[in-house]
Structure 1
């Protein structure tokens, strides 16, 4: 009995000791938390937001060209005997443009037709022989080998007829190649051969500007072409008649500069151009407009916090308290160097441009330098 009381007392003492130790540990942790140092003052680079002057419209001088141009040529060589269309002539689809001398091609066609007639005669003879041999075989007059030879002769004659028919079709196609036709309506802008010349296959006979589109074409230097983008709106005016205009969009910017002028060719596709804007007409092209003042900041100032549903934001400095706060902004346009802000910033705001990735809300900062906008 005395031993049981002694063990109970020992257990009670151990429990009390454990509670005391845990209390002391909790107190120590609380003291450590209370003594935790505040967030360090971060050195950052800043800039003061200022509006940029509005971008002015760009003006160029160019000319009207066809959106699609095609060089029409013969698929075979020969001597040109006629050219029906000259420079400036309007043509319709399937109109005859030029003709070659078809004498040799017609001779080949006649020879192919003659070979076909001979092959058809051999086929009729083979068909008759096969019919007779089949009847004789049924009566037991001839051997099976004689019948199979007649059957093989009929199959061979049929193959010869098929080959002759293919040669006739090919010869007819070649005769058709001696006539050059327009594949679409348009206007002839260049000619490359005259009647009497011997031309090779693929040589340009006429150049056709199709009627399905017009482009305003101009040259732009390298420092200006960087401001142009495919899809930019443009206004095209006829030189000498500024009232004759057409609207369009930049359709193509040459990826390579001209080796002589070092300029880039830009093509503006026109929508519903008036008849006065003829091919080759001199025009003035105006891209962009005199927009409003914009706010531009370095791209390094942008911070994305998708965990808070913020696509883009910047850290704004409170100059009185030297603290920062994250503000959401609307990015209108951006490139690897600069970003154009539509909403969220006002002239005079101080924003962080370097060191933004280590900041927290309300953290104190030390301004280490300022950038010019």
Structure 2
């Protein structure tokens, strides 16, 4: 095959040059690239206002008054008439001791009283005779004085024996333990057949005078509480069952193990569902000083520190500002430093922003 080289003529070069100039002219007239669109964000204008928080603690319902019933004398328990959970009324029999010794004591005291009364009658008769004889001059003053002393001794002896009989009868009565007020048995300390000492707890009674919600409160929370706080108490398992309460008693000394203070909250007209031993939740509103709160969604991180995005109202751009977080919960964040009243804070879309970015406020006039 015959290969021939095509020579570049001047006319062809001129044509190529003109075509290149046309292309360059077309490039010079292209429109500039469009500016990036402003990102829509939700914002809030912050202001200082009084702050506070709700503190919730768990506790139990207890009787306002709990008493330990015990025998006043020693003895062997022959009967316990109640068990834990029983309701009792005033003067109801709780337990009984063996009565034999006390019954013997009563019989002996009665015999002593009879003997003392007989001696007293004889002394009175002798005194009367000596008095009449002294008036008639048929006895001496010495015998009269002796009859007087004998009468006084007999009277004292009769009083003493009567007092011993009363004590013996009281001891006999002490062999029966009875409730002094209506209530519920919450604990028992002895069983029939046991020999008990005076003062040992036989049963514990929760009186029906009132109900307390008892909480173990840390020291820092106790110090934050107002002077006369009002507590809202609800059943943990049934939050709809609610009662109001007032602090009735605060332990003066912390528990040696937990370091908490026991606080008793008197319940005002508690519902029947708040039974003894029920687990309850107490809520207390603790007021704080003035501060700035923002939604938790506004919080982000800049240079390993908490920060929020601030909108410049004039330029509609954002900048990252570090803040000090005082308190954080799932819904709100309390800011200590970094924000002032009137700052516009981005609350939604914070993860997609960059410093100096244009934004469009949702709901605002464009």
- Which of the five TM-score ranges fits, normalised by the shorter chain? 0.5 to 0.7
Give the Cα–Cα distance (whole angstroms) in 1 for the partners of residues 141 and 50 of structure 2. 102
1:351 maps to none
Question: Considering only aligned residues, what root-mean-square deviation do their CA atoms show, in Å?
Answer: 2.4
**1:230–1:202 Cα change, 3 Å:** farther
Deviations 1:115-165 (A, max 9, x none): 110010011111121222233333332222222222221121111111111
1:200 maps to 197
2:263 maps to 266
2:235 maps to 238
1:117 maps to 114
Q: CA deviation at 1:54?
A: 1.2
Contact 1:70 1:208 in 2 (8 A): yes
Contact 1:230 1:249 in 2 (8 A): no
1:79 maps to 76
Q: CA deviation at 1:230?
A: 5.3
Q: For residues 1-373 of structure 1, what are the structure 2 equivalents within 5 Å?
A: 51=48, 54-229=51-226, 231-288=228-285, 293=290
- Length, aligned pairs only: 249
Deviations 1:9-31 (A, max 9, x none): xxxxxxxxxxxxxxxxxxxxxxx
TM-score by length of 1: 0.62
Contact 2:225 2:286 in 1 (8 A): no
Contact 1:230 1:250 in 2 (8 A): no
SS, match of residue 202 in structure 1: coil
Give the Cα–Cα distance (whole angstroms) in 2 for the partners of residues 225 and 52 of structure 1. 24
Runs of 4+ in 1 over 4 A off after TM superposition: 289-295
Give the Cα–Cα distance (whole angstroms) in 2 for the partners of residues 111 and 252 of structure 1. 50
TM-score by length of 2: 0.63
Larger radius of gyration: 2
Q: CA deviation at 1:52?
A: 5.8
Give the Cα–Cα distance (whole angstroms) in 1 for the partners of residues 96 and 62 of structure 2. 28
SS, match of residue 241 in structure 2: strand
Deviations 1:199-257 (A, max 9, x none): 11111111111111111112222322221245311111112211111011122222322
